[in-house]
Structure formats: C-alpha cells, structure tokens
Amino acid sequence: MLPRIKKVELGKIHINDDVISSDFFLHSKGIEQLDKTNKINKKEFERMMLHDPEIAIFGTGFKGKLNITEDVLDAAKKSSADIHILKTPDALKKFQEFARKGKKVVAHIHVGE
C-alpha cells in the first residue's frame, strides 16, 4: 500500500499514523528508518538500489544541506534508475507523483535542514 504523507515539517514527517523524526527510505511497501546523517554514502545508495527502482529520489533536507558524496553521484549516473535530487518537501511530492503512476520508486529522505 502506498504510504500516505500527511504533514511535512522540519525535523519530522507524518506518514500514515507515524511521526518520523529520523532519516528514512520510502518505497511502495513502506518505510525503513535510518540514522540521521549529513551525507549519503555509496553503501546507503547500494541499499536503495536493492529495491531495484526505476526512479531513485534523494530528499536533501529542508534547506538542501544533505551532502551526496561524489562516489554516490558516479554510481547514480551508471545505474539504470532515473535520479532526482530535491529538497525534502519536493522529494516527497515527487515520490507521491511517481508512485501514483505505478512507477517503482525509492526515496532517501533527510528530515533535517
């Protein structure tokens, strides 16, 4: 079932009946909570790719402060997934848009700045 995003605010995201205050993966089957981080490394990107997405979205925070390492950007270019790097509120909207169209999409969402 498609996760329902109810409210988006700095430091917490309301999805379904949960309030998420740490970074997380969002995909069609639900949510995988992650530790808060200031950067996405290749290991996290590879974990995203285990979902075999058509589209991978990075939510870089409310002010875009999440750093995506160069090795992740290189790996993303080589992957078959369509990559989107957006501030968190826009990333969540884009996730919903693609998921409603039946696309296989996964997002790494940063809840901080």
Identify the domain containing residue 11 by its residue range: 5-109
**Total of domains in the chain:** 1
Q: Is the dihedral of CA 83, 59, 94, 63 positive or negative?
A: negative
**CATH code of residue 26:** 3.40.1230.10
CA distance 69 to 36: 16
Q: What is the pTM of this model?
A: 0.92
Tokens coding 29: 């089957």
Would you give the distance in Å from CA 83 to the centre of its chain?
Answer: 11
pLDDT, tens only, 26-72? 998 889 999 888 899 899 899 999 999 999 999 999 999 999 999 99
Q: What is the pLDDT of residues 1-36, one digit of tens each?
A: 678 889 999 999 999 899 999 999 999 888 999 988
